[in-house]
Structure 1
Amino acid sequence: MKKRQWAIIGGLLILVLAFGLKNKLSQSTETESPKSITRLKALRVDEVKNGPVFLNIKVDGPVQAQQKIDLFAEVNGVLSLQATKFDAGRIYRKGEILLDLDNSEASSSYRALKSQYTNVLGQVIPDIKIDFPTHFDTWYKHLQNISAGIWEAPKNTDDEKLRLFLSARGIYSAYQNAESARIRLEKYQIRAPFDGSITEALVEPGQLVRVGQKLGEFMGKGKFEMLTSLSTTEAPLVNIGDTVYLSSRESGHEYKGIVFRKNAKIDPSTQRLNIYVLLEDVRLVDGEYLNGTISGPSLDKAMALSRKLLHKQASIYVVKDSVLAESNLEILHQSPEMVIVRGLKNGDLIPQKPIAGAYVGMPVKIISQ
């Protein structure tokens, strides 16, 4: 019986000792476990230095000749054989004949009406000498010029009686008939309105040409304009006369132009405003596509940043006391890659590159460049 009691007491002691040892070991493990280590995000930074930022607005678009016209026939006639054939690529100086239509009938009509005017004028000269002697020399000189082949309009007069007299004698109507025939005769010859070349020729010598028929296309050289568009935020920054630097990716040529027209109406389909750039360069080709920039105004107390650094579209992370803080920005101008902003203070530290998983209060470590 005593042995059994001692066995029970011994078992209880063993349990108590085992339980105490377990608690001791547990407390020792907790006190000896290492503390968690906070890892700092290492990054490189730039120091903010506000100053004037020169605005360059990117533009692109096709160029077209500023002087380009379609040639149409205003009279009927057969195209005459010319020393220089009317072909695409032909170069002409201003005033040279591009096309010459047979004008035999029109020329005869003009000569007849001109002769009729000369005869009517000759019949009234004696009466002018008697009834209006102070005007005789003027009208006699006019008759001499007409007879010598110098075509000119009748002389203006303030004498109402003389005007009525000349009108009753058919002087003015005879002149208008002859003048109309002269203008029609000139339409049988189509002359170059400016220096340029034929870009399209649609008729051949001997071909019958009718009124309203398109004959070809004539384009001036050296003067071109480029159509491009700006956003509603960019448009107020561009003015007439601003310089535009352009280049062609195909030819590699560089050009310099100026903004010479600016539309006051926004295109409803694009919500952009059209501007026109004037270029003067003989190397340009009609339809060539150019890319470049407009030199806009200088924006004071500003800084240019990569758009990738923006947070919430109008803020940026800055480093203060080794943690990230947020600074709000005023966006002055933005392009696909860059933004020009105000709102940062000189000396502020901003990350050089976007920070993955960044948040306000994030601890960081600045590393040297």
Structure 2
Amino acid sequence: MVRLVAAALVMFGMSGCTSDPPPVAAASAERVRPVVASTSSASGPREIVVSGPVTVEEQLDVVALRAGVIVAMPVDVNSEVEKGQVMARLDARQLEADRATSEHKAESVDADLKNWESELQVKEADLRRAEAMHKEGISTQEAYDHSLYEVTASKYEVERQRGDELSAKDSVRSIDLELEKTRIVAPFRGVVSQRYVRQGQYVTVGEKLFRVIGRSSLEVRFTLPATEAQLLRRGDVVTVSATTDFKESTAATVTHLSPVVDPGSGTIEVVAVVKDRLRGLIPGTMASIRIAGTR
């Protein structure tokens, strides 16, 4: 019995000495890289398929340039607008009243200016007569100096009235600029894609009112690993589709390649202009881009 126990202890010690340590995961030490789908064959060039958002260059959020209450909104989502078309109006009654007051003041100042210009002409005629009489010895030096003083004073008054006239006209123009801000107009020809406000709402300066998308060409933006940057040059053509199977596709011309690599992702940004619009290829969606690597 003692021999059996000793043998068991010897076998247990041998098995403990030969046990291996647990494996260490090596995947965590690998650097994460951008993933692109690539295909290659012996008969054709290597291809890369990436994805990226569809954008349009003419895309803008129209904001309020003046605070006020929206009293009219003739357009809505999906409304087609022309450049300069009014999309909304703010309450402008106070500004219109202020403009009428400023315009009346400008007219009054203009009348005063004409009156002083006429008065100056009379004073100048008096001065010429006083000068002639002084030369003939009919009038005294004091009479001539008095006429000269009146002409000088009238000239200063005319200059003051001209300044008042310019100030009054500038006031009218300033109110006109504020009135323009009460009319929210389309910045370019396009379609209203979003409406952020409603009629009767009070808006503040800088508040978003509409988003307008223009009729310019569509663009696709995507990234490539820096190791694949040599595959594209400006002016190259890539294939774009709204689906991953590329059943319907169109060409797109590369217009921009970032000259630097993003250190965080190790990629470069690429922009390409789409030649033809496809069904499903609309701004905001993700497109599939196929790049034929010939370099």
Question: For this structure pair, what is the TM-score category when the shorter chain's length is used for normalisation?
Answer: 0.5 to 0.7
Q: 1:286 to 1:168 in 2, by over 3 A?
A: same
Q: In structure 1, how many angstroms separate the alpha carbons of the residues matched to 2:95 and 2:59?
A: 29
Q: How much does 1:223 deviate?
A: 2.7
Q: How does 1:150-189 map onto structure 2 within 5 Å? A: 165=159, 169-189=163-183
2:100 alignment partner in structure 1: 111
Secondary structure of the structure 2 residue equivalent to 1:264: coil
8 Å CA contact 1:221–1:282 kept in 2: the answer is no
**TM-score normalized with structure 2 length:** 0.60
Q: How much does 1:229 deviate?
A: 1.4
CA offsets per residue over residues 125-178 of structure 1, 9 Å max, x none?
Answer: 6878999xxxxxxxxxxxxxxxxxxxxxxxxxxxxxxxxx58972344334322
The reply on whether 1:75 has 2:70 as its aligned counterpart is no
**TM-score normalized with structure 1 length:** 0.49
Q: In structure 1, how many angstroms separate the alpha carbons of the residues matched to 2:237 and 2:226?
A: 20
1:239 alignment partner in structure 2: 233
Secondary structure of the structure 2 residue equivalent to 1:79: strand
The answer to which structure has the higher helix fraction is 2
Q: Which residue identity does 1:254 align to in structure 2? A: S
1:214 alignment partner in structure 2: 208
Q: In structure 1, how many angstroms separate the alpha carbons of the residues matched to 2:238 and 2:93?
A: 53
Secondary structure of the structure 1 residue equivalent to 2:288: strand
Q: How does 1:276-291 map onto structure 2 within 5 Å? A: 276-279=271-274, 281-283=276-278, 284-291=281-288
Q: Give the alignment's Cα RMSD to 1 decimal.
A: 3.8
Q: 2:260 aligns with which of 248, 260, 265?
A: 265
Q: 1:276 to 1:122 in 2, by over 3 A?
A: farther
Q: In structure 1, how many angstroms separate the alpha carbons of the residues matched to 2:237 and 2:160?
A: 59
1:139 alignment partner in structure 2: none
Q: 1:185 to 1:56 in 2, by over 3 A?
A: same
8 Å CA contact 1:222–1:281 kept in 2: the answer is no
Work out the number of aligned pairs and report it: 217
Q: In structure 1, how many angstroms separate the alpha carbons of the residues matched to 2:178 and 2:195?
A: 23
Q: How much does 1:194 deviate?
A: 1.5
8 Å CA contact 1:196–1:220 kept in 2: the answer is yes
2:242 alignment partner in structure 1: 248
Secondary structure of the structure 1 residue equivalent to 2:260: strand
Q: 1:127 to 1:239 in 2, by over 3 A?
A: farther
- Which structure 2 segments of 5+ residues have no match? 1-41, 121-158
Q: 1:280 to 1:124 in 2, by over 3 A?
A: farther
Q: In structure 1, how many angstroms separate the alpha carbons of the residues matched to 2:277 and 2:105?
A: 50
Q: Which residue identity does 2:207 align to in structure 1? A: Q
The answer to which structure has the higher strand fraction is 1
8 Å CA contact 1:78–1:206 kept in 2: the answer is yes
The structure with the largest alpha-carbon Rg is: 1
Q: How much does 1:266 deviate?
A: 1.3
Secondary structure of the structure 1 residue equivalent to 2:168: helix
Q: In structure 1, how many angstroms separate the alpha carbons of the residues matched to 2:114 and 2:261?
A: 64
Q: In structure 1, how many angstroms separate the alpha carbons of the residues matched to 2:105 and 2:252?
A: 56
1:201 alignment partner in structure 2: 195
